[in-house]
Amino acid sequence: MSGRIQWKKMAGKLSPYTIKKGLLYLRHYGIREFWIRLHERFEPEEVPYGPWFEATRPDAECLARQRSRRWSSDPVTFSLAVPAWHTDPVFLEQMIDSVLAQTYPFWELCIVNASPEDEHMRQILSRYPAADKRIRIKELRQNLGISGNTNAAFDMCTGDWIGLLDHDDLLSPQTLYLAADLLAREPDTELIYTDEDKVTEDPEAHFQPHFKPDFNLDLLRSNNYICHFLLLRRTLLDRIGGMDTAFDGAQDYDLIFRACESAHAIRHIPEILYHWRTHSQSTADNPVSKMYAFEAGRRAIQAHLSRCGCVGEVTQTKDYGFYRVRYPVQGEPLVSVIIPNKDHPELLRACLDSIRNMTTWQRYEILIVENNSEGEEIFSFYKEAEKDPHVRILTYQGSFNYSKINNEAAKQARGEYLLFLNNDVTVITPDWMEEMLGVCQRPEVGAVGARLHYPDGTIQHAGIVIGMGGIAGSLFVDMPAERSGYLHKASIMQDLSAVTAACMMVPAQAFAQAGGFTPDLAVAFNDVDLCLKLGRLGLLVVYDPFVRMWHAESRTRGPEDTPEKVRRFQSEIEYMRVHWIDLLKNGDPCYNKNLSLTKWNYSIRPKE
């Protein structure tokens, strides 16, 4: 899109409110970062969301089939808890009508009116119970605050499941049907959440879809991505209690943490089923209007860490509603940095110099694994490098096999943590090693990966998606590094199915338990396969964007363009297809089925 067309598109969305909002963001970010975010926000969609939503929403025939379904003799009942306070009459009616339009009939709508002096609201709310007994209204004598009002709505609920619905938001007509259908197949479920988007005053103007992964602990610690639509089994809510007034402004974030800590099974419906209303006073469109909520969110994360017995310091990022958790290193563990190498002394020198000169953590050893170098210069460099007490030179004499080389080095490593590093990687962030250690020391973590940049300042790796490009591929490739990506995904910590071993830390014990790298994968996908094996053990693979490195990818091995290399690559593709067929077939749980597997930037998958 040309600059003129881009500016025309931006200008077309300006209003006194948006100008005021923009000035607030400008003051917050500063000119440079505001300009970057402005351009990122108005980047043209490869698949426009509005038409996509219309093409994928269920038609009248589908909704009729849902309504005609016969359920068991003891169907699940959903109670929708709605705290209402000075709600716009139009929005209030639209919210109630969206519940009445549900294709699943077994529900009750429990509305607490915390503003009984509002005559318009009273008139609207008085009409509905007479027309439908599933709608129940309770008037409070005074406003109890958002948590108190919500708890009062919880007290009204008699259903098996309780859903949280804001007073001006909307549900898609199939929402409760899909939840009931999930429960018929997965009866052990205790918490359900869905995807969501936003609407303006016009309920048909859909934009900014939030396509979510399945449950993702580190993403939840970075942002309340679960948010809407949330359904809790009544027994779970009884166990954890209701809203805590100490977290007003982020009371749902705190509730979600407590629910996820206690729930036996958390499931995600990857469908846009909730429509979050935006207007000048809503947090959805104007986060600046509720700055106190972000501090409450930070405290909610801190309280969650404390309950989990996890030491961490929570800070807000520059992006409202997004957080960083720093996990301090416990003790002084030794890290074994393993670097395979063949020739290219200039690359290896730059790599080692960056580690020596930039790294603030000093408890490390470097194992350089020599593999069939041919030039005399590299062997002279080895002699020089070994003068450093941190460095050991190992030799692997077989033909190049990344998996075997690293497995052999791991056997000789002395560290409690193995840090696999390519010889063409150099350090950007000085505290990179302790940052990775702090995350990797958590007992639930099996691997930590970094954010890698090309020398031209674009992103080379920000995590890996299974199925991307056929088998697996990196996210945000070639995106300018100053950008943060879809919902800041390139810039926040989260769990992914895989990260690259160009810079990856793994506990030595977990590496051994997973069986190390698979020797059948000599060049490609060995890191992906290892991460998936760690995941199969129940361990998390964490993408940590606060570790940043330069990476001159494939400078050592060169392009994969010989007949031998092509055959080898095809055999590695076949290995992954055979051994991980279920995952490739069912989709990456850390991604979303509605997102593209050919684009690297969270573009929407076109309707087939």
10 Å CB burial of residue 117 (0-12, 13-18, 19+) is exposed
Lowest mean pLDDT among 139-148, 229-238, 257-266: 139-148
pLDDT of 54 above 90: yes
Contacts of 507 (CB under 8 A, 6+ apart): 416, 417, 418, 440, 445, 446
Q: How confident is the model at residue 5 (pLDDT cuts 50, 70, 90)?
A: very low
Count other Cβ atoms within 10 Å, centred on residue 48. 11
- pLDDT given for residue 607 in this prediction: 81
> Is 3.40.50.2000 the CATH classification of the domain at 335-586?
no
Q: How confident is the model at residue 60 (pLDDT cuts 50, 70, 90)?
A: very high
Full-model pTM: 0.93
- pLDDT given for residue 46 in this prediction: 79
Averaged confidence pLDDT in the chain: 92
HSE, CB side, 13 Å, CA atoms: give it for residue 398. Answer: 10
Domain with CATH 3.90.550.60 in the chain: 335-586
Q: Which residue has the tokens 């007509």?
A: 173
Average pLDDT (344-351) is 96
Average pLDDT (584-594) is 97
Please state the length of the chain.
608
The amino acid sitting at 48 is P
Which two tokens mark 325?
């958790």
Average pLDDT (533-548) is 98
Q: How confident is the model at residue 289 (pLDDT cuts 50, 70, 90)?
A: low
Count other Cβ atoms within 10 Å, centred on residue 539. 21
Average pLDDT (257-264) is 98
- pLDDT given for residue 41 in this prediction: 62
- pLDDT given for residue 2 in this prediction: 40
Spatial distance between the Cα atoms of 53 and 268, rounded to a whole number of angstroms: 19
Average pLDDT (45-59) is 92
pLDDT tens digits, one per residue of 191-235: 999 999 999 999 999 999 999 999 999 999 999 999 999 999 999
- pLDDT given for residue 7 in this prediction: 42
Given CA atoms 41, 47, 48, 52 in this order, what sign does their dihedral have?
Answer: negative
pLDDT of 554 above 80: no
- pLDDT given for residue 473 in this prediction: 97
- pLDDT given for residue 560 in this prediction: 57
Q: How confident is the model at residue 6 (pLDDT cuts 50, 70, 90)?
A: very low
Backbone angles phi, psi at 412, to 5 degrees: -100, -5
The answer to whether residues 259 and 236 touch, using CB atoms and an 8 Å cutoff, is yes
Average pLDDT (150-179) is 97
Q: Phi/psi class of residue 44: alpha, beta or left (left: φ > 0; alpha: ψ in -120 to 50)?
A: beta
Q: How confident is the model at residue 27 (pLDDT cuts 50, 70, 90)?
A: low
DSSP helix/strand/coil, 195: strand
Q: How confident is the model at residue 291 (pLDDT cuts 50, 70, 90)?
A: confident
Domain with CATH 3.90.550.10 in the chain: 68-290
| Cα-based torsion angle of the residue sequence 381, 387, 391, 393 in order, rounded to the nearest 10 degrees | 50
pLDDT of 589 above 80: yes
Spatial distance between the Cα atoms of 580 and 157, rounded to a whole number of angstroms: 44
Average pLDDT (422-451) is 98
- pLDDT given for residue 8 in this prediction: 47
Given CA atoms 290, 295, 298, 299 in this order, what sign does their dihedral have?
Answer: negative
CATH superfamily placement of domain 68-290: Spore Coat Polysaccharide Biosynthesis Protein SpsA; Chain A (3.90.550.10)
pLDDT tens digits, one per residue of 458-481: 999 999 999 999 999 999 999 999
- pLDDT given for residue 1 in this prediction: 39
Question: What b/e string do you get for 131-161 counting C-beta neighbours within 10 Å, with b at 16 or more?
Answer: eeebbbbeebeeebbbbbbbbbbbebbebbb
Average pLDDT (291-313) is 96
Average pLDDT (305-311) is 97
Share of the chain above pLDDT 70, in %: 90
pLDDT of 23 above 70: no
- Which residues are paired to 275 by β-bridges? 170, 197
pLDDT tens digits, one per residue of 368-378: 999 999 999 99
pLDDT tens digits, one per residue of 79-116: 999 999 999 999 999 999 999 999 999 999 999 999 98
pLDDT of 510 above 80: yes
pLDDT of 11 above 90: no
